[in-house]
Structure 1
């Protein structure tokens, strides 16, 4: 069984690297492996704080806006974070970090780590492509929000959490355009492809490890199911 996880950069490196989270996350993956020797994980890592910081610096120096260069900076930040995640996974991950999800061979170890590919979409899209490649029926999207809301709860106190939502309704919320650094629960480009090929996406809080354990084990969990 292959579980594909889009692991948000806001979880791995919200500002600097969250060492405690990584330590506890590795321990959780170890527990899952002990319970199920056939389980395999693919982690696709986002850019997080490093992406935002370096993109901000680029714009400050050049006066540039949201463009392809800013997008490339974000891609490179995902690769730095992914290399770190590969390293902490140790012997579970024997393959190089994947940077092109269309050119990946068989999954050799117990863990495969991937990063951003190229401008035009976020690492969420790479996760959907890898789920398609390895015939996974869903992508688990871990970020700093526990569920999708009807609106931004930080700005709208009347925003309501959503347990389940169709792809049509979700895409109406997030739109169809990708903007580097855009803060949406799941990338619009990734959403379009996931809807097209019939892959389900589950959004949940990445740092709620007891809830993640339930999710990985097939027990009731807190999160939003899309599709």
Structure 2
């Protein structure tokens, strides 16, 4: 009887650890390498075993592309293959390479509808050996986000959901509760100024709208470089119309 009892107790302990998220791989964080940002994130960076939500500052193509490139830059700094799940195969490969994510590292999974994207993300996250899993969705229901968060916790894999909209009305539910560890919003700003005529490094107005057990903050940053890294921009925050426009989507 003692042996049977020990087996039952061992099984219960394993189930409790799995429920609490302690039975998975210890994942750590992915730091941005920017003290102003890392300093307000729990653990000093993005939780690798967690779900993170990203969106453009408006319904336009420019801000939506900025959010996708932000996700690509984050994924570029992880190790291993990247799975990118989507319904619209409209990503521009040279732009991904410019932010450090070379297409050879990416496995693109196309679905007919967003339910397929969610299912593909969950399956990829369950694999446990990927650098990151990215999914493009218009809406992120709590049930879906919770399932993705639980799988990410269990395997220690970084999960990124990029909210992409074709029209303003589709952005109405952005800000509704989800299980994401962090929520970010990215708006395009005029490029950094150069001392000579030319086009400088793109800039973004980056908003950390939600951080579990952390602070919310806004930053003007230089867009991801060829290694996927951002930096705090010292130039003036021109283009506040874009930043202001994004705020009433909150």
Q: Same fold (TM over 0.5)?
A: no
Higher Cα Rg: structure 1 or 2?
Answer: 2
Greater share of helix: 1
Q: TM-score, normalised by structure 1?
A: 0.33
Greater share of strand: 2
Q: TM-score, normalised by structure 2?
A: 0.31
